[in-house]
Chain A
């Protein structure tokens, strides 16, 4: 039993190490800084600049968080502080279902609803032409995908705030909303940040759904109605054909390592914060 445990812990280091070793050749050849800051992507001429992919990932994630965070905050406060236990139970099924829907289904839904909506109704008010496969479409689909994650963590965080604190505030004459605002939310700020960081790392790595609605176009997007090309989509689209150019393989491995590194870092930080919150209120 110890050996299986050690083995499964070892997976994490094995994956990180494996990706790192495979991305070493390109890092040594081009230098980390050039890889991250230039945006010329011509694999067959040996030019590998990740800047536009990294920026695409950041734009898409940014939009997703801007949409998802306020909605999740409002909803989870309502569910925990105001709603009846019946609604609480019903809503946790909703969260479970949303979390369970596979990425490819979100992708199908996005191409059927969000993409045409953007290209036909929304974009014409702002830009001359948009196919709808855009930063905005990817952001909206991602937002819906990370909402269940944020809500389920936030609900735990809010529940962890001791009842006595709420009662103390109410007994001093504060209204329910004042209590929520000044006690519950203030006490939960580390948890809210942790939930956000976890959601960011989830959004960074989401592949198939984003791939289906983002347009996959290498140029830097000029507006949110332009197509973009986040890192996971880059890996997914090019993996099969990169075998002929050894540098290319290493470059894609570097993309995977970059994702791995950032996501592990974010996860460790936010999990440690959440563990602290758990400890503080449990004892």
Chain B
């Protein structure tokens, strides 16, 4: 066999090896999380808030964190949708497709996307101090919204660039009002929006660094925006740092719950985007 052929063989082997390795790592992560989390997963975990002595291994669950995360992500997604959809419409339908301003705006959103969550958390916290806010659900919502707006804009934009401008011209030439035109565009954007929502829920619900100072932590379920709230990632983080084994085991099952939520979100996002790409062709 010539050296040329041998080199190709070696490299091809390495490539297949590393592909398998990455696939294996994913499976290994999921395996470990399931194996460690399953034994202490119980109905009590997801249906009760921590009772007295919870952090010493007594009974209770992490319902506070589950509900807290859901509140937080719900309001953040609503706020970021209200900001992202108009931005994407402006970039794609008001401006010409290749305008300088939209190129600049897209670059900015790419950069915002790259800013780490801890910086959003720290910045959110300074804003809260400035306005005299305590760590609260509201603070968390502000920080998480900042975090997911770029995610959302980028992923809706990916779908919006594919919508032809002629569509708007056609609706307008049929005598549609601006409001009716927007309805037509939004219908076209819907698959993109649903994927974007699922992606940003995944990003927002799993991120601990943004909510570390802004949302705080508490054992009860918040009843107003001004109260602090627990979140799933922090529930995992704090329970894991406990020296007591039962508490650590609960951290593992909380990790399993979070992973499960993320997997569902990820699969549904793929389902939506695949369904959309079928319509496109």
Contacts and interface: CB of A to CB of B under 8 A. Distances in A.
B114 A75 contact: no
Contact of B90 (A1, A19, A201, A239): A1
B46 to A, nearest CB: 17
Contact of A212 (B15, B205, B237, B263): B237
Interface stretch (B26-34, B48-56, B163-171): B26-34
Given A18-B127, A105-B259, A260 B115 contact: yes
Chain B interface size, under 10 / 10 to 19 / 20 to 34 / 35 or more: 35 or more
A271 interface: yes
B91 to A, nearest CB: 7
A102 B206 contact: yes
B236 to A, nearest CB: 5
A104 interface: yes
Interface of A: prevailing SS: helix
Interface stretch (A123-131, A163-171, A251-259): A251-259
Interface stretch (B70-78, B186-194, B208-216, B219-227): B208-216
Given A113-B28, A236-B209, A9 B105 contact: yes
Given A96-B266, A103-B206, A264-B115, A11 B255 contact: no
Chain A interface size, under 10 / 10 to 19 / 20 to 34 / 35 or more: 35 or more
Contacts of A260: 115, 119
Contacts of A78: 12, 15-16, 18-19
B209 A207 contact: yes
A96 B11 CA distance: 25
Contacts of A151: 22
A236 B116 CA distance: 12
Interface of B: prevailing SS: helix
B36 to A, nearest CB: 6
B119 A1 contact: no
A229 interface: no
B266 A82 contact: no
Interface in A163-184: 175-178
B122 interface: yes
Given A19-B119, A109-B32, A267 B110 contact: yes
Contact of A275 (B22, B33, B107): B107
B207 A103 contact: yes
A102 B118 contact: no
Nearest to B153: A8
Nearest to B14: A74
Given A175-B4, A240-B213, A4 B83 contact: yes
Contacts, number: 226
A137 B250 CA distance: 23
Contacts of B251: 108
B230 interface: no
Contact of A107 (B107, B125, B237): B237
A98 interface: yes
A252 B118 CA distance: 12
B244 interface: no
Nearest to B182: A1
A96 to B, nearest CB: 6
A111 B36 CA distance: 12
B42 interface: no
A105 B19 contact: no
Interface string A81-118: 01100000001011011101111111111011100000
A232 interface: yes
Nearest to A232: B118
Interface in B114-138: 114-123, 125-127
Given A79-B19, A271-B111, A208 B209 contact: yes
A205 interface: yes
B279 interface: no
B122 A239 contact: yes
A193 interface: no
A198 B114 contact: yes
Contacts of B173: none
Contacts of B16: 78
A112 B203 CA distance: 23
23 contacts: A1-B94, A4-B86, A8-B83, A8-B84, A9-B104, A9-B105, A12-B108, A15-B146, A74-B11, A74-B15, A75-B15, A75-B22, A78-B18, A79-B19, A82-B15, A102-B205, A102-B206, A176-B8, A202-B116, A235-B122, A236-B212, A240-B213, A271-B110
